[in-house]
Amino acid sequence: MLAEFVARHAAARNIHYGWIMAALGFLYSLFASSSLGVPSVLMREIAADAHVSMAELSASQGLRFALFGLVAPFAGGLMLRYGPRMMLAIAGTMALTGLLLTVGMTNRYEMWLGLGFILGIAPGLTALQLAAVISVRWFTTHRGLVVGLLNGSIATGTLIFMPLGAWIAEHWGWRVALLPSGLGLLLSLVLFLLLGKNRPQELGLAPLGETTMPPIPAVPKQNFAEISFRGLRLASTRLVFWVLALTFLICGVSSYGLTSTHFVPFCGDLGLPAVTSAGLLAMIGVFDLIGTIGSGWLSDRYDNRWLLAIYYGFRGLALIWLVESNATLGAMSAFAMLYGLDFIATVPPTVKLTVGTFGPEMGPVVFGWIFAAHQLGVGLMAFAAGVSRDALGTYVPAFLLAGILCLVAAAAFGLVKRPAVPAPA
């Protein structure tokens, strides 16, 4: 009832309900990513308070990332089978449960269950496929812009709330530091459940950009795992899938795997204070939102293959320049702004290429497997950069390797042809 009421008033003001869905997805993604990212900067405080070693706490975080990576490929199949509204309800409720268990934990078993197991599965149930599904189902025009908006909120929520969480923990303790993003997650989840719909047809609307309301596709009869693996079989026969998976792996290596995990200690090695380093990380987050939304706007207008080649090439040059430049605060600030603009600008054109090749229904399912490659890259670099730092006493080789790999990714798009007719589902 409430959604229908809001839809009528929005239509009277010439506002398509798809924009309301995009706003709901933006808020949920912002607070969900922040609530899951903040514990990463509170490791020392959590370990000391819970009387566990850093090694054991790190192992629980390894489980979290592993479960996220294992569940994420099936998010597309789950949404196709059960709808994004139900999956977001399950994922959001699990995330809140994991956060509550973490805030109140008193022993290692609660740590493993809440911080490791539950908070690992919860984000994987929606992953980046929420943005893909909302953009494909509610928009025919502006799809890239919507993908950019929703995915920009993920990185921005993580990178902005992490320094805020560290500051709150310093003054009031690590448990309080989890509350702002947790309360935001609760509010955004309630709003999505009250106002969210699976498809525009449920409100008697056509997707934005269409004049006639298309029929609702039949819900697949198979279970979600079979749907996801069918998407993988379909994709594995196409060269574009392997190029997108490889380059998105490199995206994970050169973004979350490198900077989200190691940028602050890298700055520490250069002699920058922790507060300054956290501020630079937040700056990356702010410029990421600008860059990713801008990337979405561009992906609606220009060839996505060449946009991706430019983005990866620009990121590679920025990382190489970073390790070759003088580490002044001005140089680091310039890097944070330029690199932030390109932090996950790769997502909108990657989603559009995937959907353009494999169709609006199976496209998000295939993107789940491409995203799994991204998370593999995140895990590999998060581990390898730490090992390299311990062995060599510097992060320079890790940043340099990430930059070179980005240049390889840029060149790889010379192998990809413009999408023609989507593959049959």
Strand, coil or helix: 139 = strand
Q: Give the pLDDT of residue 425.
A: 42
What is the DSSP code string of 227-247? HHHHHHHHHTT-HHHHHHHHH
Tell me the pTM. 0.81
- Residues 347 and 25: their CA atoms lie apart, in Å, by 16
- Residues 101 and 113: their CA atoms lie apart, in Å, by 8
- CATH code of the domain occupying 2-201+224-415: 1.20.1250.20
Q: Give the pLDDT of residue 55.
A: 66
Instruction: Give 10-residue mean pLDDT values along the chain (425 residues).
Output: 88 92 92 79 77 73 78 85 91 93 87 88 84 88 88 76 81 89 93 94 92 82 85 92 96 86 81 78 84 91 94 95 82 90 91 89 88 86 82 89 96 83 44
- Residues 408 and 374: their CA atoms lie apart, in Å, by 16
Q: Give the pLDDT of residue 420.
A: 57
Q: Give the pLDDT of residue 54.
A: 62
Q: Give the pLDDT of residue 423.
A: 43
